[in-house]
Amino acid sequence: MSVPTHWFVATDPDIYEKFMARWSARLADPFLTFADIKTGQRVLDVGCGTGTITLALAERGCSVVGVDASGPYLEGARRHRSHPAITYELGDAQGLAYTSGSFDACVSTLAIDVVPEPRKFAAEMRRVTCSGGIVACGTFDFWGGWAAAEYINEIGATLDEEMRVLRDYRRSRPLFWPNGMACLWRDLGLTAVTELPIVISFDFESFDDYWTSLCTGPNSMAQRMKVMPAERRDEIHRLVKSSYLAGMKDGPRSYASIVRSVRGVVP
């Protein structure tokens, strides 16, 4: 199986809210503090999704453009996270329709891993940021850093060959290992490059909340679940539930997740 990096179905903003936006809200403050974004700056949020980080920037006093390739996600952002300081625009992160140096800073979270060409994605962020501006990005450490999905990854990989390929592919990319993005930032000529692991908590109310969040969402893992034979999916469900419960009653569970975050300065 050939696994495209863009195997992510961004068509339903409400599903995305449950899958990821609620956790992005927890990431927003530590990530933007790390990125050192200043009040009054004009900032581009690349791959803004349903606007969680975009709104957080506006609430910090920035003028923000949120750009995303998904029209439905942008509709969700306008519906739920509108703000006088925000403009949401449809666009391709690998070919941004903005002049060079037109923003004071550029940020992106949980998006660079799902585009076909992450290097081009990062290079475009650098290009549209002015000299002295910050370029900051964050994504999950897929080598054990996305703890909530590990049971599903491992059990699924044991029972389904295409799930195994997905797991191995996700883990095989050095860009998303520790210091991977920092190396790319330096290679692109950014200075004062710093990488920081930011830990956020994924708190689920029940096994059903956990399963429907991760296995019926827009991600590649859920897309494979949707099309695999029903009996195999049912067996994965049974085993994952056993791991989630761990011999206890159903109820809340919490998982620590690591977002590898990098920032650098355009010379």
The mean per-residue pLDDT over the stretch 249-258 comes to 96
In this prediction, residue 11 has a pLDDT band, given cuts at 50, 70 and 90, of: confident
% of residues, the chain, pLDDT over 70: 97
In this prediction, residue 1 has a pLDDT band, given cuts at 50, 70 and 90, of: very low
The mean predicted confidence, pLDDT, of the chain is: 94
% of residues, the chain, pLDDT over 90: 87
- What span, in angstroms and rounded, lies between the C-alpha atoms of 179 and 146? 16
Domain boundaries, the chain: 13-265
Residue whose entry in the numeric block shows the structure tokens 């689920």: 204
Q: Give the per-residue pLDDT at 12.
A: 93
Q: Give the per-residue pLDDT at 8.
A: 77
In this prediction, residue 6 has a pLDDT band, given cuts at 50, 70 and 90, of: very low
Architecture of domain 13-265: 3-Layer(aba) Sandwich (3.40)
Lowest mean pLDDT among 61-65, 165-169, 229-233, 252-256: 165-169
Q: Give the per-residue pLDDT at 4.
A: 45
Question: What pLDDT, in 10s, does the model give residues 152-204?
Answer: 999 999 999 999 999 998 899 999 999 999 999 999 999 999 999 999 999 99
Question: What pLDDT, in 10s, does the model give residues 98-115?
Answer: 999 999 999 999 999 989
Q: Give the per-residue pLDDT at 145.
A: 85
Q: Give the per-residue pLDDT at 249.
A: 98
